[in-house]
Chains A and B, each alone.
Chain A
Amino acid sequence: MISASDTIVRDETTLVSALDDELIIIDIAKGKYLAIDRIGAAIWEAIAQPVAVETLVDGLADRYAAPREQIGSDVLAFLDNLASRGLVRIVAE
């Protein structure tokens, strides 16, 4: 489980491609793909470099003018989903 105090980064070897408004993230191990919407795509962009989850949530709360708590739990759920597929990992401080 990823927590708000972690610093995370996406897996660089992951294959990703745009399809219409969505980003298709390929989960090779499972032979499946994950289609993510614009907000998911913004998160995927933001974690190209290591970033603290709190900083990420702050940035998204500002950008989408949404309550921080709501954004926070959505982001953690999304990151956990990515992490369970090995698409994102926690980096040491």
Chain B
Amino acid sequence: MNYWYRAYGLTLQSEIACPELPEIDATTSPDVVIRLVQSIASMTGSNETHFSDIADVALFRIEKGREILVHPTVGAREEDVRQYLYGVGLTAILYQRDESPIHAGAIAWGGQAHLFCGESGAGKSTLMTQLRRRGVHVLCDDVGVIRQGSDAIVRFYHGVPRVKLWRDALTHFGIGTAALQRDLTRLDKFHVPLDVVAFDALPLGSVFNLQPRRDVDPPAIVALSSRETLEMLLRNTYRPRLLRQLGNPGHHMMRLVAAAGQASGFEFHRPWNLDRLDACGDTLVSHLATTIPTGAAA
């Protein structure tokens, strides 16, 4: 049995059901094929193969940017296998394809994608959820790909449409955890699915560096130079070790230079307090409404 999905602007044909990914019609020429392998004997590879052995979950064989073979460990939970498939599996595929995955949450506004970078714990997902509550279209909270088209425009292709939230944030938003999937590594974190959107990509608009600050209130937005924006994007290269192993660091950097040239970069100083989330949403929405000419939310 095969399923067809779309993520990062790629078409996937998969023998593993991936309910977290947007489904598409069957296609005869998928970009990536995901196969379920029962026998470990098929898991041999060449020097172009990347192996990832996740204890108690699965062995992944990732080949030439085209194929992922998955050999689950006996007794492994399907959800866990899928999380690693989305994580190391698709990331390795992206780097083998000479793509540039960026660690960022993203929203659609005025026909553009606006990214939110920040260290783990900076509050990306919480902010994405706050904006979503205001009717802003949230694309992802974790990873997307930056790609420059033949028209020279840099676009953002979102990955898995979900938001990962800690229990305190869920409580703040009044979201129950019963129907949610638990995060792999962090037991008090849960995955909230997002609405699936009809498009793959939007031109890159702004890039925000999210900075939780105990000494700042109200929230503040400060413009960055193109070079500072480039630094921010470089710092948020997703899984840089895989880039060095499998990708093309030079091409990656060229892409980020193009992205930094096109995007408007900002620091977003966010008061470190869930009670001030409304104020953060106000500040961002009014900033976007003033800076994006077309105004209305996409």
Chain A residues with a Cβ under 8 A of chain B = 15, 17-20, 22, 24, 26, 28, 31, 33, 35
Closest CB of chain B to A25's CB: distance in Å?
10
**Cross-interface CB contact of A26 among B226, B244, B253, B261, cutoff 8 Å:** B253
A19 touches B250 (CB 8 A): no
CA A35 – CA B261 in complex, angstroms? Answer: 13
Pairwise interchain contact B254-A20, C-beta atoms closer than 8 A: no
- In the bound complex, do residue B253 and residue A19 qualify as a contact, i.e. CB atoms below 8 Å apart? no
Q: Is B2 an interface residue (CB 8 A)?
A: no
Kindly state the separation between the CA atoms of A28 and B253 in the bound complex, as whole angstroms: 9
A19 and B249 within 8 A (CB) = no
Complex contacts, A15 vs chain B, CB 8 Å: 250-251, 253-254
Contact B254 A19 (CB under 8 A): no
Size of B's binding interface in residues, CB under 8 A:
14
Contact B261 A28 (CB under 8 A): no
Number of A-B residue pairs, CB cutoff 8 Å, is 36
Residues of A within 8 A of B172 (CB): none
Residues of chain B with a CB closer than 8 A to A20's CB: 225-227, 261
Interchain CA distance A22-B229 in the complex, whole Å: 14
* A22 and B254 contacting across the interface, CB-CB below 8 Å: no
Nearest 3 CB-CB pairs, A to B?
Answer: A28-B250, A17-B257, A20-B226
Chain B contacts for A35, CB-based, 8 A: 227
Q: Is the interface of A mostly helix, strand, loop or mixed?
A: strand
Which residues from chain B contact A26 at a C-beta distance below 8 Å? 250, 253-254, 257
Query: In the complex, are the beta carbons of B244 and A19 less than 8 A apart?
Result: no
Q: How far is the CA of A73 from the CA of B269 in the complex (A)?
A: 43
13 new A-B contacts, CB < 8 A, other than A19-B261, A20-B227, A20-B261, are A15-B250, A15-B251, A15-B253, A17-B254, A17-B261, A19-B227, A19-B260, A20-B226, A24-B257, A26-B250, A28-B250, A31-B249, A35-B227
Judged by a CB distance under 8 angstroms, whether B230 is at the interface is: yes
Q: If A19-B260, A19-B261 touch, does A33 touch B226 (CB 8 Å cutoff)? A: no
Kindly state the separation between the CA atoms of A33 and B226 in the bound complex, as whole angstroms. Answer: 14
**Residues of A with C-beta under 8 A to B260:** 19
A22 to B231, CA, bound (A): 14
Asked whether any CB of chain A lies closer than 8 Å to the CB of B258, the reply is: yes
Smallest CB-CB separation from B230: which chain A residue? Answer: A19
B253 near A22 with CB under 8 A, answer: no
Name the contact of A22 in the complex, choosing from B227, B244, B249, B251 (C-beta under 8 A): B227
CB-based contact B258/A17 at 8 Å:
yes
**Can you name 8 A-B residue pairings with CB atoms under 8 Å?**
A15-B253, A17-B257, A19-B257, A20-B227, A26-B253, A26-B254, A33-B257, A35-B227
Q: Which residue of B lies closest to A17 (CB)?
A: B257
Q: Mark B107-120, 1 if CB is under 8 A from A, else 0.
A: 00000000000000
> In the complex, what distance in Å separates the CA atom of A26 from the CA atom of B251?
9
A32 nearest CB neighbor, chain B only: B253
CA A20 to CA B249, docked complex, whole Å: 22
Q: How far is the CB of B89 from chain A (nearest CB, A)?
A: 24
Residues of chain A within 8 A (CB-CB) of B250 are: 15, 26, 28
B240 (CB) vs chain A CBs: closest residue: A31
Q: Say yes or no: A33-B253 contact (C-beta < 8 A), given A19-B227, A22-B227.
A: yes
